[in-house]
Amino acid sequence: MNVLVVGRGGREHALCYKFYQDASVSRVFCAPGNAGIAAHAECLDIEETDQHALVSFAKENDIALTVIGPEQPLAEGLTDLFLAEGLKVFGPTQEASAIEGSKAFAKELMKKYSIPTAGYETFTSFQEASDYIKKKGAPIVIKADGLAAGKGVVVAMTEAEALEAAEGMLEHNRFGASSAKIVVEDFLDGEEFSFMCLVNEETIIPLALAQDHKRAYDNDKGPNTGGMGAYSPVAHLPSATEDKAMNEIIKPVVQAMIKEGTPFTGVLYAGLILTEDGPKVIEFNARFGDPETQVVLHRMKSDLAQLLLNLLEDKTEEVKWSDHTVVGVVLASEGYPGSYEKGHSVESILNAETFFYHAGTKKVDSQIVADGGRVLLAAGSGKNVEAARDQVYDALNHVDASHFFYRKDIGNKALNRS
């Protein structure tokens, strides 16, 4: 079959590389892709947001399955258009993708269906938000309601910090329309992990757990980013954790979406935190996580394209995994998640002896150069976290990564705990 992946980041590279290896797939296309994706897929000169060009391409090229990577085209209704045209697509409808696109929608849904998450209130007035923050005290969490590329959350350890964040969002349009409404949430303490499930309305196929590293610098310091590294599986979590998350969170949410008249098909990504009272939801995403997808799919032995096509017909199967652990380290442009320069060559980094997923690269003349904040993800593999981590850092230690930075502690939480 021919498959089409929509997007241009590391997550889409992981999808393309997996499809490239799947026995059921003959041709992989990616719109628009990047310099690394070009090694595993035919990159198209079509933007993620160009709905009509994507549909025409899928029709004219006998595309059996389209997978939409990023949240933006989902929120804009790309899935709806594919479905209306009778095309097979793996991704939620515009309405169902509100589980990610509006934190207020997700929180109300969880409240209504008693799904464990932090207590909260929503605000559009700074005066009311500030009264509430003063009443609750710190630590407290301030979140922009809409999409903000993983940057619209402030975990405030002081009341002053919380007030400043709320003021920036509500009074100074810090994230434009995305922060015209905010969610103010209780602070939860515990270990975070990511649970992605492939879903078709009622049918659920769980993927292996992963752990992201959201802060920019070592020891979880610095600003929140889209994710600076990940590993999978997360072997040190108590063994009942995954079952509890499935029974108390994933299944109830999937049922809730059906009851609300917005059944969910696509990747339901639950960002969870393991508190003393069990796993609770930090956020939902309506798509594959980035960088979690790179480390999870790197271990997948099953044929993903076939698995997804079968799922769209409500056929489930158990996913087969490599028993290796994969540790992925993101190389980002200096300055990210703030402003950064583009255009520096990554050729010397690519000499490192490990596999690279490309997140933000393009080819200029014969050189591959950085074209984004997150640029590459180096993937190391080994019999446990320690071995995988050593492999990837040994490889990176031998190359010149000036103009870029990466965290040196990806996976350390697992080592300290096991």
Residue ranges that bind ligand AMP, judged by CB under 6 A:
118, 141, 143, 150, 153, 155, 185, 187-188, 192, 214, 224, 271, 282-283
Amino acid at residue number 65? L
What span, in angstroms and rounded, lies between the C-alpha atoms of 367 and 38? 14
Q: Could you tell me which residues come within 8 angstroms of residue 339 by beta carbon, excluding any fewer than 6 positions away?
A: none
Closest distance of CB 195 from ligand GLY, Å: 12
Given the complex with ligand GLY, which of 225 and 333 has the nearer CB atom? 225
Given the complex with ligand AMP, which of 31 and 118 has the nearer CB atom? 118
- How far is residue 164 CA from its own chain's centroid? 27
Q: Which residues of 108-132 are buried (b: 16+ CB within 10 A; e: fewer)?
A: ebbeeeebbbbebebbeebeebbeb
Residue of 7, 70, 227, 266 interacting with ligand GLY (CB under 6 A): 227
Given the complex with ligand AMP, which of 219 and 316 has the nearer CB atom? 219
Q: Which listed option, ligand GLY, ligand AMP, none, makes contact with residue 289 (CB within 5 to 8 Å by class)?
A: ligand GLY
Q: Which stretch binds ligand GLY (CB under 6 A): 105-113, 161-169, 285-293, 384-392?
A: 285-293
Tokens 């003959």 — which residue? Answer: 26
Here's the x/- map for ligand GLY, 292-331, by CB under 6 A: it reads as x---------------------------------------
The candidate with the shortest Cα–Cα distance to 53, out of 74, 26, 31, is 31
Question: How distant, in Å, are the alpha carbons of 13, 121, 352, 360 from that of 401?
Answer: 21, 44, 10, 15
Could you give the dihedral angle defined by the CA atoms of residues 79, 82, 84 and 87, in that order, rounded to the nearest 10 degrees? -130
Told to check if 285 binds ligand GLY by CB under 6 A, we report yes
- Are 346 and 358 spatial neighbours (Cβ–Cβ below 8 Å)? no
Closest distance of CB 348 from ligand AMP, Å: 32
Q: Which listed option, ligand GLY, ligand AMP, none, makes contact with residue 146 (CB within 5 to 8 Å by class)?
A: none
Q: Which listed option, ligand AMP, ligand GLY, none, makes contact with residue 227 (CB within 5 to 8 Å by class)?
A: ligand GLY
Q: Is 24 left (phi over 0), alpha (psi -120 to 50) or beta?
A: alpha
Q: Could you tell me which residues come within 8 angstroms of residue 266 by beta carbon, excluding any fewer than 6 positions away?
A: 68, 74, 79, 90, 91, 92, 96, 97, 199, 286, 287
Tokens 């499809």 — which residue? Answer: 19
Closest distance of CB 271 from ligand AMP, Å: 5
Q: Which listed option, ligand AMP, ligand GLY, none, makes contact with residue 153 (CB within 5 to 8 Å by class)?
A: ligand AMP
Given the complex with ligand AMP, which of 73 and 271 has the nearer CB atom? 271
Closest distance of CB 232 from ligand AMP, Å: 16
The candidate with the shortest Cα–Cα distance to 4, out of 62, 50, 49, 84, is 62
Closest distance of CB 148 from ligand AMP, Å: 8
Given the complex with ligand AMP, which of 141 and 253 has the nearer CB atom? 141
What span, in angstroms and rounded, lies between the C-alpha atoms of 74 and 67? 11
Closest distance of CB 99 from ligand GLY, Å: 13
Q: Which listed option, ligand GLY, ligand AMP, none, makes contact with residue 187 (CB within 5 to 8 Å by class)?
A: ligand AMP
Binding residues vs ligand GLY (CB under 6 A): 150, 212, 227, 285, 289-290, 292
